[in-house]
Chains A and B, each alone.
Chain A
Amino acid sequence: MEYLGLYNYWVFAVLLVTGLYAVIVSTNLLKKLLGMSIFQAAVFLLYITMDKIEGGTAPITRAGAPDQLYSNPLPQVLILTAIVVGIATLSLGLAMVVRIYDDYGTIDEQEMARRDRE
């Protein structure tokens, strides 16, 4: 049971490197973006893991419960905005991928390099 409290961090590590692996190995631009999304989600998980307090509840205060323990609101604020910024940057990346496809007819890096050489 001692190590069960670290499981979140291990999942964070595995998700992070899974995303990183996709970015390194795949030559498909859309797949690279998906890999980056997984990488980003791993960071979200790390932050939200840090907000949890044993016996706490969501940080929405209730009158008449002075002893209630609340989880940490700060990581939640950071990640809440980061999720929405994440979708905005993802869509910018997707727009670039679409424009690249318009010009090259492919979203594969190697194929693009081959056409550039021709």
Chain B
Amino acid sequence: MVTVFIVFLLTLLVITAIGIVRTRDLFAAVMLTGIFSLELAIVFFLLDAADVALTEAAVGAGIATVLLLGALALTDDRERGRRMRRGLGLVVAAGAAASLVYASFEQPRLGDPLAPAHQHVAPWYLEQTPELVGVPNVVTAVLASFRGYDTLGELFVIFTAAIGVRFILGTRLRTLRHGELPSADESGLRSHLVPAVVGRLLLPFIVLFGLYVQFHGDYGPGGGFQAGALIAAGLILYAMLAGEEAALKAVPRPILMGMTVAGVLLYSAVGVAGMLLGGNFLDYSVLLADPVAGQHLGILLIELGVGITVAGALLSIFHAFAAHRTAH
């Protein structure tokens, strides 16, 4: 039954993707991208990846759609140029597809317990996590503890991207300050009664759920990445309801930048603290007398760092796009 559902959803995914590529109306393409992400999130959920599904739903279907719409509002929403190299594109696509499908016959079937991916290090993580780290969610344990270096690197990528967006789009901020303020009444959802009321009702629950996901991530699906995205989504909703001015008054720009930096610093500081206490970089076992309690504390702190940076970075990216629009 589940297999049938997955097959159905995967077929929908292909249809949506072809729709995105074929349509010349970029607004429709962006909306289809949101639907695509939601379908993909359900597929992830059915394939036992609850954490990934939560992330994809919050980031892909929520924030990516808002940012794409923001970029669309600043540029052109029709695809005007004639498509080039159509024949070449078809040949390359068909050739690549044929070779990938040919290679798939050598792949283990879906759900095969003897697949090579399940033989190497994964069983070790599943067996040792309760003993060494002591948190039920193995995904969180691997992400925050066993592969903490990786996650720190990923966090730096997000940090760098947020700084980069500010550098690229932030040049017109000064003209905004001297020029007239954006006309607030037409911006956002404020003129639409139903979204405004429902949005205001939903807002506290979105942020509360974000905090739950942040601090319950060791036990259930969740963690800093999902929580950061959810809280950012809640505050973006607020910006759309109350206008950008009000959102920036609630969480000013310097605080957003500070959050982006503070999360990365907190994560790194936990790593250095481990070194000072005689362990390796990002070794949480030495943080407290009891190694498992130390792991708990370390994971809690670095997940907090991840959440703060992700929320700050996504929000400052959103505000960079929003301010750029009003500067025109």
Contacts and interface: CB of A to CB of B under 8 A. Distances in A.
B75 A101 contact: yes
Interface stretch (B122-130, B267-275, B288-296): B122-130
B138 A52 contact: no
A38 B225 contact: no
Contacts of A56: 48, 111
Interface residues of A, number: 86
A56 B138 CA distance: 14
B317 interface: yes
Contacts of B52: 44, 48, 76, 79-80, 83
Interface string B97-116: 10011001101011111010
B122 A72 contact: yes
A58 B51 CA distance: 9
Contacts of B320: 95
A109 B275 CA distance: 51
Contacts of A54: 111-113
Given A21-B89, A48-B44, A48-B52, A81 B143 contact: yes
Nearest to A20: B93
A93 to B, nearest CB: 9
Interface in A67-118: 69-77, 79-92, 94-99, 101, 106-111
A44 B10 CA distance: 13
A88 B157 contact: yes
Most A-side CB within 10 Å, residue of B74, B219, B320: B74
A10 B121 CA distance: 27
Interface in A35-63: 35, 37-38, 41, 44-45, 48-63
B75 A97 contact: yes
B113 to A, nearest CB: 5
Given A76-B51, A95-B169, A5 B71 contact: no
A96 B167 CA distance: 10
B5 to A, nearest CB: 12
A72 B118 contact: yes
Contact of A4 (B3, B13, B130, B162): B3
A116 to B, nearest CB: 15
Contact of B82 (A16, A51, A110): A110
A14 B14 contact: yes
Nearest to B92: A24
A82 B139 CA distance: 14
A92 B75 contact: no
A48 to B, nearest CB: 5
Contacts of A9: 100-101, 104, 107
Contact of B158 (A21, A24, A85, A97): A85
A37 B59 CA distance: 13
A38 B20 contact: yes
A27 B83 contact: yes
A11 B228 CA distance: 30
A5 B324 CA distance: 48
Contacts of A7: 6-7, 10, 110
B314 interface: yes
A60 B74 contact: no
B67 interface: yes
Contacts of A34: 20-21, 29-30, 33, 68
9 contacts: A11-B11, A13-B101, A17-B97, A58-B48, A94-B70, A95-B169, A107-B75, A108-B79, A111-B81
Interface of B: 3, 6-7, 10-11, 13-14, 17-18, 20-21, 26, 29-30, 33, 36-37, 40, 43-44, 47-52, 55-56, 59-60, 63-64, 67-68, 70-72, 74-76, 79-86, 88-90, 92-94, 96-97, 100-101, 104-105, 107, 109-113, 115, 117-118, 121-122, 125-126, 129-130, 136-139, 141-143, 147, 150-151, 154, 157-158, 161-162, 164-165, 168-169, 219-221, 223, 225, 228-229, 310, 313-314, 317, 320-321, 324
